[in-house]
Structure 1
């Protein structure tokens, strides 16, 4: 009964989350890539190349069980979450850049997520090769992820006043359905929750902190300004775990409750880490302003 309820609620939950994302996007968000090309390129390299490599090293270092290892790799392959925009707004990041990065990353995962999942499954579960996300199922990922985004964008383009009225309710509904799905997963795996937290909690927290720091430091080293680097940090550190959990649990895709656990754990812990990261970069900016040090005034 529990697993059937989870399976039935997953498409609805992801549709609501991605529809909410679409209601906040316009075609201009994609055109903006050229105006922030340096930041976009740095973030994409970090997101698509560096993070999976770092995550792979962490799952080996923490000696995660095979299914949990694939589940955390699935989180690494997921794009930035819509809440990255909120954190960026709260802590002085370049929100327009966040929206652009989220749009581009969400479009790209249709191609990149199956690669990461297949390579991970081949390495950690060599005797269960059929478990990998096969490229024949890419259409299902496309339908789950990009179609509701396109619907949201179409509503915003054709009826902006309707999109504006729907934006807040849909965002609130997104939170409700995500909490509901996470609660169902935790309930279904209640006998193993403590063991899972012990097994994956340390790796998830470490990966989250490293993602936030890399997301901020790599753009800064590439000459990207402070506000854009804050946006990049949140974009890379705050993943769309709804996608990771849905892909893991969907009977047509990975069909594994255990692989969904890292996404659930990361999805809970990342908010505490993101808030702490926001306080850290804000404090740094304030101290620079008080001391009159370099970087006191930066354009965004």
Structure 2
């Protein structure tokens, strides 16, 4: 079977350690995007192994189990935070006061349309408001300003695909990375719109991105400290954690990282204020207050 766009493949030279999706075939060269990891790679046709139906199903089952485990952990902590909030609002359960919650709004900009669809589905499950936009990494710096002004988000996620190219130079040179320079420029432009880190929380980066440069540009959170691959959903759990944390509390880094599938090798950042606001009283005619998963 010949390799075609959309096929799931592995690279024999890497013992098929990562499942890729074929996005472009140009003669004997193929451009690959990680199916679950935010990695972009090039490979010769001769190095590719097409996954059969059984292998695809096995991979999908394993990934679904990992993702569901992460989601359940996040949901358990969310339940604990809600119980804590209820205790505080009701003065230790002495008053019968009802309240509503307004999570922080997320603008999620993604260079991969399939990843964006997957991410927005998780935001929906978590009860987090999101405005998703698919834009190629190269166009992100040009589009970020107008999107922030239009959406007026509390949190911005700037992600897609990236890769560290060892043959292009040393690891502190932006030219050594496929798309880090676009993430850096997008963050810099976002900070011109909203300079303060606790007024607009930013996550930026993808697999193997140059972590120090993205943080220096003004991001609260970024990838990838150890130049490793990150999972497609890692940015979601960081952004959702900030969105669902009350504004009177700070989001500690370890609190964030324990919900991700990659951990501190792939993700890092700085202490940040939560973006969720609580209010009273509840308007019984407004069903939106019931939309947040309990």
TM-score of the aligned structures, taking structure 2 as reference length: 0.23
TM-score of the aligned structures, taking structure 1 as reference length: 0.23
Higher strand share: 2
Higher relative contact order (CA 8 A, sep 6+): 1
Higher helix share: 1
